[in-house]
Amino acid sequence: MSTPDHPASMAAVALVVLATVLVGGFGLRISRTTSDFYVASRTVRPRLNAAAISGEYLSAASFLGIAGLVLVHGPDMLWYPVGYTAGYLVLLVFVAAPLRRSGAYTLPDFAEGRLESRQVRRLVSVFVVGAGWVYLVPQLQGAGLTLTILTGAPGWAGDVLVASVVVLAVAAGGMRSITFVQVFQYWLKLTALLVPAIFLVLAWQSDGAPRVSFDDQVSAFRADHPLYATYGLIVATFLGTMGLPHVVVRFYTSPNGRDARRTTVAVLALIGLFYLLPPVYGALGRLYAPELIHDGDADAAVLLLPARMIGGLGGDLLGALIAGGAFAAFLSTASGLTMAVAGVLTQDVLPSRGVRHFRLATVLAIAVPLGGSLLVGRVPVADAVGMAFAVSASSFCPLLVLGIWWRRLTPPGAIAGLLLGGGSALLSVAITVSGAVRPPGWPHALLAWPAVWSVPVGFLAMILVSLATPGRVPPGTNAAMSRFHLPEALTSGRAR
Amino acid sequence: MSHESTPRREVVTGEPRRVRPLPRYRPQAEIDEQTALGGAYVRSLMRSQLRAGLTAFAVLALVAGTLPLVFEALHSNAVVWAVLGFATYPPLALAAWWYVRRAERNERDFARLVEGRPAP
């Protein structure tokens, strides 16, 4: 692969990094209390919060991964962005407002508040940290790939750079500053894909608008059971979004349940708008960078196209814009995840609470996935992210949906569901990544896309074990249900 | 003396008991004190919210469940491209908007019921 040396791209990456640290530092001055730190004192209005959630959500998988997958495997891969978006609809209709009204800081808080069990809390903490780490690895690897393409720097440099900036930004200002950073990064990411896309489409038209063909199926081998894989992807992304630790923590920053709902609608619109763009890059990549299909680094397509199609100074500048946007993608998702994981570590693992321990937890939260990203071989970014979604869909989705809507949920039921559903999904992912079961054949398909069976397993285990232990229904269930579902106007007189 | 011991007969007039207004926010108190009746109020709100959520989810599941089969049958990349690349996003946003309107209306109706205000 060509590794062009773009001074303009270097400058753009440096600028994004600098801006992130500066905006984060601005938050340092106004972030004073613990509540500021964790949930921005619950004062983030829907539009600002929606841009922050979108900025956080649109990760390396969205910015580079989708175009790469479309390039290699064809338009069926567009289920990824559709699933990432539809996941917010499912989150909206079942979880958004009650989750905000639960009044908890994190998922483990929610689990303990609803089920009144330290055991469930600890188990949920383990899953939050695990899912967060699984999701952080591809972000860091994507950063490494980008920096390698731009500068020829060794692969570990980008990983380390992103990890350090995240520690600086998160540890300095916490949630309040992260909100501003991420609002800024959403608009940066949108611009960074939109403007080059316009020029690339113009270049394509002046080239005589050649037809994009996806009939060449030689390299498009992805699954020997493509229909099953598609359903696996749909289930994982539709149901997994609600449990992603960095998404959930953002809902607690809304002022009330009604605003949490409106925020979700705005998020849907913002990320839907963004997802119109990556497929354009995938299709153009098929025309102008076809060799990427075979050499395995298809995630690089978005970065390489401007130089290929336009070239010269214009190509350099557009490439720089994309590089800056890509770094914004790594930084925002990585800092959101680090924030969520660090929050859980501070509350449930490290001994004392307080801002200084939060900073220690931040370092811990990113150091482990950094080690992982340097040790583990590269998995396509979008696939790795898909696995995190499958784990989330099989563990947190049953816990949240049943916890919010079903009064007979018991702590033993929740534990059984988390272990059987989430545990089996996590195990399948681990086996797939380790390469112990190889395609073709049903065993590989079932393990690589576990959500189709592991989500029902999680739900069934939770329901059946809860029904078998009716004596363990927490005494505060009715109070919790009232708090989750009553509008704040009717409950404001009561202590929370 | 005996004249003073018999108290003067007085006629007490006042509003009949039945007409006195009920204490305000009675359902609110039922909910706050978690009585059976209060529980029933909360359940009724949960049912209406769950119905709205399940309606939106059922439509989504139906469409997402059948689309892969349709694509498989049509075998046309252009259709997949048009539907998944562009056409799905507006209906998703519309569904979300519909749900929010419905959920907020449910909450308004519930607040009206609880605070004893008549329907407009």
Convert the pLDDT of each residue in B47-104 to its tens digit: 999 999 999 999 999 999 999 999 988 888 888 888 998 899 999 999 999 999 999 9
Count, residues in chain B: 120
Query: What whole-number distance in Å separates Cα of residue A288 and Cα of residue A127?
Result: 42
Tell me the C-alpha to C-alpha distance, in Å, between residue A344 and each of A27, A110, A169, A209, B59: 21, 12, 18, 51, 36
CATH number for the domain harbouring residue A369: 1.20.1740.10
Residue A403 counted as domain residue: no
Instruction: Choose between B20 and A97: higher pLDDT.
Output: A97
Please answer yes or no on whether A261 and B28 come within 8 Å at the CB atom.
no
Which residue has better confidence, A224 or A492?
A224
Measure Cα distances from A180 to A8, A39, A169, A174, A256 in Å: 26, 13, 11, 11, 20
Cβ neighbors of B113 (< 8 A, separation 6 or more) are B27, B41
Specify the pTM.
0.86
Q: How far is B81 from chain A (nearest CA, A)?
A: 6
In Å, what is the CA distance from A244 to each residue of A94, A364, A396, A397, A425? 15, 19, 8, 9, 15
Within a domain: residue A317? yes
Whether residue A301 is contained in a domain is answered as yes
Amino acid at B68: P
Count of domains forming chain A: 1
Note the maximum CA span of chain B.
113
Contacting residues of B for A220, CB less than 8 Å apart:
none
Answer whether A37's CB lies under 8 Å from A174's CB. yes
Distance CA B27, CA A418 (A): 38
Distance from CA of A268 to the nearest CA of B (A): 6
Whether residue A388 is contained in a domain is answered as no
In a domain, A420, yes or no: no
d(CA A441, CA A439) in angstroms, rounded, equals 6
Within B1-120, residue ranges assigned H as helices are 2-5, 26-32, 36-74, 77-82, 89-115
Range of the domain at A114: 7-208+217-378
Q: Give yes or no for a contact between A410 and A465, defined as CB atoms under 8 angstroms apart.
A: yes
DSSP state letters, A199-230 = HHHHHHHHTT-PPP-----SS----SSHHHHH
Q: A381-421 pLDDT, tens per residue?
A: 667 778 889 999 999 999 999 999 999 999 999 999 999 99
Could you read off the pLDDT of B30-51 as tens digits, one per residue?
666 667 777 888 899 999 999 9
CA dist., res. B30 & res. A341, Å (int): 40
* B96 min Cα distance to partner chain A (Å): 6
**In terms of Cα–Cα distance, which of A296, A295, A334, A367 is closest to A169?**
A334
**ipTM confidence:** 0.86
Longest CA span, chain A:
73
- Confirm whether A163 is domain-assigned: yes
Name which of A214, A268, A482 is nearest B92 (Cβ-Cβ): A268
In a domain, A411, yes or no: no
Closest chain B residue to A281, measured at CA? B85
Q: Which residue has the higher pLDDT, B111 or A153?
A: B111
